[in-house]
Amino acid sequence: MTASDRMPDRTATGGHMLVQHRVVFSLGSNLGDRLENIQDAIDTLFDAPGLTFVAVSPVYETAPFAPPGEELPAQGDYLNIVLVADTRLPPENLLERVLNIENSMRRVREVRWGPRTLDIDIVLFGDVTSDDPHLTLPHPRAHERAFVLVPWADIEPDVLLPGHGRVGDLAGPLRTAGGVTRRDDLTLQHPA
């Protein structure tokens, strides 16, 4: 048996296409019909082949957040969710899908940390790591974001965010710090 018999051929695929990965997305909106923006984004994400739905978090209403020291322009609260799927697509391909959806939904986001109709981040892509600014994995700011960790902990508390720890443990103090309110009156349709 040669090495190529044992190892999947990844050379033509950027290394990831033949292997199934669990991917975690964060979706947020604070302009327009926020729930509809998120529902449309979920529907469009799964319309094209290559993603299998695993779970979606409850909907949370969250105060706008910017890292300490960054100016936060005045803006309304967000709705945020976390979405989990399985995929055999390469991460670059998935990012392209995400960016196309943001563009096709005429995303408005004029200033850094400003309001936007739709934001989709790839939080985690299996165990893939990357420090490429075009696609950094895991997402470099996920560990400090209540709007990511609190919804995520509702559906995957035992998952590890590499370098930071268990999602449930990271979310605990942020949940009690406030600024994140679970909106059980708002529901999303799961992809077919």
Residues marked active site are found at 107, 116, 119, 121
Q: Per CB under 6 A, which region of 50-58, 113-121, 129-137, 154-162 contacts ligand PH2?
A: 113-121
Tell me the two tokens of residue 61.
Answer: 């209403």
Indicate whether 113 belongs to the interface with ligand PH2 (CB under 6 A): yes
Indicate whether 31 belongs to the interface with ligand ATP (CB under 6 A): no
Question: In the range 48-107, which residues lie near ligand PH2 by CB under 6 A?
Answer: 62-65, 78, 80
Tell me the two tokens of residue 159.
Answer: 């998952």
Nearer CB in complex with ligand PH2: 37/62: 62
Of 131, 103, 95, which is closest to residue 23 (Cα–Cα)?
95
**Continuous H helices in the chain:** 3-6, 34-47, 91-104, 146-155, 167-177
Indicate whether 147 belongs to the interface with ligand PH2 (CB under 6 A): yes
Q: Choose the contact partner of 61 out of ligand ATP, ligand PH2, none; CB within 5 to 8 A by kind.
A: none
Among 13, 44, 75, 136, binds ligand ATP (CB under 6 A): 136
Match 């919804």 to its residue by tokens.
151
Strand extents, DSSP E, the chain: 21-29, 51-56, 60-62, 78-87, 119-125, 130-132, 135-137, 160-161, 165-166, 180-182
Binding site for ligand PH2 (CB under 6 A): 28, 62-65, 78, 80, 113, 119, 121, 147
